[in-house]
Structures are given as structure tokens and as C-alpha cells.
Structure 1
Amino acid sequence: MQQVELIKRIKELKLKRNAVILAHYYSRPEVQDIADFVGDSLGLSQEAVRQSADVIVFCGVHFMGESAAILSPDKTVLLPEIDATCPMADMVNVEGLKKEKEKHPDALVVSYVNSSAAIKAESYICCTSANAVEVVNSLDANEIIFVPDKNLAAYVAARTDKKVIPWEGHCPTHHQILREDVLKMKEKHPEARFIAHPECRPEVLELADYIASTRGMIMYAKNLPAQEFIVGTECGLIHGLLKEAPSKKFYCISEFACCPSMKMVNLEKVLASLEKMQKVVTVSEDIKVRAKQALDRMLAVKVG
């Protein structure tokens, strides 16, 4: 089926199912283009709550679909590719987190939304890269266990007086962005501003002109007079950057800054998902209740 026909059929089925398509900035460009809402983890979490549709088709990885299912229990949440998992989310397990909580009984657990529903259920509150610092600083505790990203934990630790105990996890895509990559790109594009995601290594963030979530990076690049930017995150964001600032130039930090899991969803899979109402994301009631408390606490934190 040609792309034009695929898109036409997807639109028809969206109306028939009363469905809405949500996509992350790291998804394929053609998937972002057919989405009703494209955003970062925080924006997508908020949008899942706001939507009045009966069906949410979530073009992202598994933990994102789980979050939508938890926050919108009255909606059917479909994940076009059920095997699209987040390697970083898989780096923390419930048993290990429980042991860490036993070691630090006075600490509260902050889990990055890039984690499974089961991990969220073991957490006091969730956070995203857009609100991690505000979330941690809002807590009435001096010790924080931060899972699963040690790089985001380090970023937060530098911006709070609280003791942050990091979990030894990381995003492989961001973690393989090296200081040398930045220096090479800065030499190649001396006029460009370097914008970076806080999932990057601390030594990479030290070279950044601006550090922010994916949405934060877009707004910075859009509003700044500068015309050239080196993009220190998954390169799918460049599509969103060009949509918001089409006259500017954006350079991907590295050819390796690509998340295979985020690219697994394509138009054919979105269509199949709507045609067959597959794959439905389910979360057990016990985990759903506890995970929702952590997500609700996050959504209640004021940012900016």
C-alpha cells in the first residue's frame, strides 16, 4: 500500500474508532506527521489525560503506553509495536529497587517516567526530564533514590541540596554521545549552539549552551535568534525542530544517536493497530493504583 493510501486509511479508521494518535518526538518523521499530538514524555502524559477519545494509539515504547493506560483507565490504549521496549527502563527491576529502599529507609523513590509500571508502583513520585529538578525539590525528604537513569540523577543532584542516590542505569542512545563528538561538531560548526538532553553524560552536558527536555530544546531553538544548532539527543527530534523553526539549521550530534526501539513503529503498524485493535496495553489493578499515585503526584508539581 502506498503511503498516501496508508495515511487515508489511518484517518478513516481514526474517525471510525474515535481514536487519537500520540507520538513521541523520537518516532519516525512520517509517524509524527500523522499524529494528533507530538510531544515529550511530560506532554504526552498530560495529553493522555486531556483526550476525550475512546482509543489512544501510542506511537512510542512500552512504558509510554503503560503510563497512558494508567492515567486514562477509561480509554483503550494501543501500542502498534508491543515489542518496542526501552533498554533503560529494563535496567531496573522491582526486587533490586526494594533492596535499595531497605538500605535507605528514609529516602523517597523518584522514578523517571522511562520505567515500567511495576517500578512506578514502587515509587513515591515520577518525573520527566522536563520537571525532574522541580519534582525532587518539591519533596519533604533529604534523601532521594533516583531510578533508573544515573545521568539524569547527576543532572538533578547538581541542582538540589538533597542527597540523590542514583541507580546504575542509562539510556544507551544518549550515553554513547561522547565529549569528543561534541568537540568535533563544534569545530565543524563554530557558530552553532549546542543543545543537549539531560540523559547525556555529565562531561557532555558541561559543553552545552542549553540543557532541556526535548520540548524544551525545541522552544529554545525556536525563540533564540541563533540560526544553527548542534542537537545532543536522539536525532528524531530534528524533524520537530525543523517544523517549529524551518529556516534554521540543525546538526545531529552523531550518526549513532538513534533509538532502534523508537523507530519500530511505522505507518503500516499504526494502520494494523487500528484495523485489528491491537496491541492493547494492560496493567494489573494493584500496580495501576499505586503507579497512578506516583504519576498523579508528578502531574501536580508546578514547573517553571
Structure 2
Amino acid sequence: MSALQHATALQQEIRLWKEKRNAVILAHNYELPEIQDIADVLGDSLALARAAAKTDADVIVFCGVHFMAETASILNPEKTVLLPDLEAGCSLADSINVEQLKAWKAEHPGAVVVSYVNTSAEVKAESDYCCTSSNAVNVVRAIPEDREILFLPDMFLGSYVQRVTGRQNMHIWLGECHVHAGITPTDVNNVTRAHPRAELLIHPECGCSTSSMYMLAEGLLPQDKTHLLSTGGMLDYAKTSSSDTFIVATETGILHQMEKANPEKRFVAANPHAICPFMKKITLHNVLAALQEMKNVIDVPSEIRARAKTPIDRMVAIG
């Protein structure tokens, strides 16, 4: 049996077990192509949180990383949430813990805490709002301008939001996603020189995002061809744009969907080595095992869930 035939057989078996369990499979845009292809819902963190909040399935199989499965569990305490590999973590979420956040809050009493969704349930429970890259600007704009803001943990997304909103009373935690931080200004410069007619799509978490905003302001990047977008925003833009070539500055997993939805267009990774090892821990084998054995259940303690749900609800509600 070829590798393709084996993958197809596993996908068919997963679909059978999904029906038996009345399960729904949610998958992030950075997952392996064969995982994306079996998803009932495929999207960025915000889209998946909204899907988790609405599903009527008994079981949620979350093909993503740990904090995402936690978010689904917080929104659905009566449902069973499975994470196919418990080692699917997140370097960005690990860049701040609840003790560090409590100490930071003590230094800024009365400040509003905005936590990127890439955080643990414990950190969310100490927050006022959660956000994703697609709605971070709108979340900050929803907070009265005279209120001090603590934004965590991603410094690149925080810098982007601060520049767009003009908020001077916003403090930014110095955390980063090691994969996105590895997409550098040099990468962007090199690939834009090689593809001068291409449109440039940049995720706000990227290590090149702050420099790209500066270069945009200085006219060093074309205003009409440079776009800072969430992964969901990238997918939508690529479908509607008349351009035929795009440089994509984010984790390379998204290229599968982009190419699938736009076979006539070309997509070039700003850094082809921008691969998240945690996202790639989810495989067809461990998705099937999770469904068959109902293992790797994500269960958030009730006292943390109750406190974390409010900032998550606010995130889901704000467009």
C-alpha cells in the first residue's frame, strides 16, 4: 500500500469513528495537509473558538495545540474535548505564566488585561479580554481610551496593535512565537526582491511585522501590495485579489489551503523553514487513536473555567 493509499484509509476510518462518537473535528490552518483535509471546520483561532461555541457534537477533536483545546473545553464544559497529542504545546503560550501575570498586574493596578488567545487557561482567568490576531485591534479599541492596558504575551502583535490604535497607555509583554519570530526582515527583503510583482501577506506575530510597518510608513514597501493579516484574513484576501503571486509570512501550513483554494495562483513562503513542530504533532494515527479510545481528554478545573470564560466570551463577541 502506498503512503497516499494508507493516508486515505486512515481518513476513511477516522470519518467512521467520528460518526460513531458524534464528533466534530476542528483543525487549525497550520496543521498537516492530511489533517486539514479531514476537518469539519478549518480556520484560525477565532474561527475555531466560534465553531467550538456553536457545535452540537458530543465530542470535539481539536487538531491544534493545547491552549486551543483548553479554550474549546471552557466554552463547552458539557462536551468531551480531545487533543490527539498532549505534547502539542506552544512556545508563545509558555512565554508567560500566571505568577508572572499577577506580578505584572500588581505593578499596574487598575489596568485592563488583554491576553492573546495563545495563553494558558490560568492566564486567561486573570485577564479581562482575550483576543486573536484577527480581532486584537477591535478588542483594544473597545476599551476606553483613558484605561491603561497590559497586552500579552506577543510583543510583535502588541506593537502592531499599538501602532494601529495609537494607544500610548499600552504596555506590551516581551513574548514571542519562536516560529513567527524566525521570519525576519532579511527574509522579507530577499523574497520581495525575487518576486517584485507579488503581494506580501504578513502575520502580525512575525518577527518582520514591526519592521514591515516601519518600512511601509517610510515607503520602502509598496502600500498597495503589503498587508498585515490573520491567517483567516490571508485566505480571504488571496481568494478575492486579482494578483497571481503572493509572498506569505507565517507558518507554512497555511500554504496547503491557499493552493487548494486558488490552484491558478502561486504562493511563496517568506521563510520555508517556518514550521511549528507542535502543530505537526497531530497526525492521522493519533486522531484515530483519540477517537477510538476517547483518550487525551482536556478538562479545565471549574474554578479556572468560570473565570476564563468571560474574557473568551468577549473575544468571540468582538469582530
Q: Does TM-score exceed 0.5, indicating one fold?
A: yes
The superposition leaves residues 77-108 of structure 1 with CA deviations (integer Å, 9 ceiling, x where unpaired) of 00001110000100101111111111111210
Shift of 1:74: 1.4
Structure 2: stretches of 5+ with no match in the other structure: 216-220
Kindly indicate whether residue 93 of structure 2 is the aligned counterpart of residue 89 of structure 1: yes
What amino acid maps onto 1:168 in structure 2?
L
Q: Tell me if the contact between 2:198 and 2:247 (Cα under 8 Å) persists in the aligned partners.
A: yes
Residue from 153, 160, 169 that aligns with 1:148: 153
SS at match of 2:78: coil
**Aligned 1:116-265 pairs, distance under 5 A:** 116-140=120-144, 141-162=146-167, 163-201=169-207, 202-205=210-213, 206=215, 207=221, 209-265=226-282
Q: What count of residue pairs does the alignment treat as equivalent?
A: 302
Secondary structure of the 1:159 match is: helix
Equivalent position of 1:294 in the other structure: 311
Structure 1: distance between partners of 2:15 and 2:58: 15
SS in structure 2 at match of 1:255: coil
Partners of 2:261 and 2:230 lie apart in 1 by 16
Q: Residue type matched to 1:67 in 2?
A: T
Give deviations 1:184-231, integer Å, cap 9, x for gaps: 101111111110000013114444700110000111111010000000
TM-score when normalising by structure 1 = 0.97
**1:21-78 CA distance string (max 9 Å, x none):** 0000000000000111100000000000111100000000000000000011111000
* Cα distance in 2 for residues equivalent to 1:142 and 1:136: 10
Could you report, residue by residue, the CA deviation over 1:140-179 in whole angstroms, capped at 9, with x for unpaired residues? 3521101110111000100224321011100111111111
Contact conserved, 1:228 with 1:248, CA < 8 A, in 2?
yes
Which residue does the alignment assign to 1:21?
Answer: 25
Give me the whole-angstrom Cα distance separating, in 1, the residues matched to 2:285 and 2:170.
43
Tell me the distance in 2 between the aligned counterparts of 1:204 and 1:161.
17
8 Å CA contact 2:43, 2:232 repeated in 1: yes
Letter in 2 for 1:272: A
Identical positions, percent: 49
Q: What code does the residue aligned with 2:147 have?
A: N
For the 8 Å contact 1:178–1:204, the answer to whether it is kept is no
Q: Hey, what's the Cα distance between the residues in 2 that align with 1:178 and 1:81?
A: 30
Q: Which moved more, 1:110-119 or 1:183-192?
A: 183-192
Whichever residue aligns with residue 44 of structure 2, its letter is D
Structure 1, unpaired ranges of 5+: none
The answer on whether the counterparts of 1:229 and 1:250 sit within 8 Å (CA) in structure 2 is yes
> What's the C-alpha RMSD, in Å, of the aligned pairs?
1.2
Q: Comparing 148-157 with 183-192, which one deviates more in the overlay?
A: 183-192
The alpha-carbon deviation at position 243 of structure 1 amounts to 2.2
